[in-house]
Each structure stands twice: as structure tokens, then as C-alpha cells.
Amino acid sequence: MVKKTTIVTCPQCKKEVTWNNDSPYRPFCSERCKLIDLGQWATESYRIPQSESNSEEEPSHQA
Ligand SMILES: [Zn+2]
């Protein structure tokens, strides 16, 4: 039985990462890239611009 090797690309630094137990941080190449990506994600979600929906309340909150 031939083991198929899956190669993914690190979303952070675009480095090729082998999808196996040697890469515990996949799809990231390293813990560092994973933390960087998570940090960016957290920052982005924290700073969501509220320019699209003005100060109107969402109609789904109150029927
Ligand atoms: Zn990386």
C-alpha cells in the first residue's frame, strides 16, 4: 500500500508543509506561523469596521 503524501502550503509564509505527524502545526509550517495567523485573526475580528451597518438596530433582535 502506497502512502500518499499530502503537501499543503503554509497560509502564513507559503512554505510547503507535509501533512503528517511531523507537522503538528499544519496547515502551518511552525508554531510561530500558527500564532501569527491566529493573532491576525483575533486582531481583525476585534477591529471590525462598523461602516456598512450604521447605527440602525438589527430588526431580528426585536420582533
Ligand atoms: Zn509558515
37 alpha carbon – ligand 1 mean position (Å): 9
The amino acid occupying position 25 is Y
Band of the pLDDT at 60, cuts 50, 70, 90? confident
Q: What is the pLDDT of residues 4-58, one digit of tens each?
A: 899 999 999 999 999 999 999 999 999 999 999 888 766 666 665 666 655 666 6
| Count of residues making up the chain | 63
- What CA–CA distance (Å, rounded) separates 55 from 63? 18
- Cα 17 from chain centroid (whole Å): 16
33 alpha carbon – ligand 1 mean position (Å): 5
What radius of gyration do the chain's Cα atoms show?
19
56 alpha carbon – ligand 1 mean position (Å): 41
47 alpha carbon – ligand 1 mean position (Å): 24
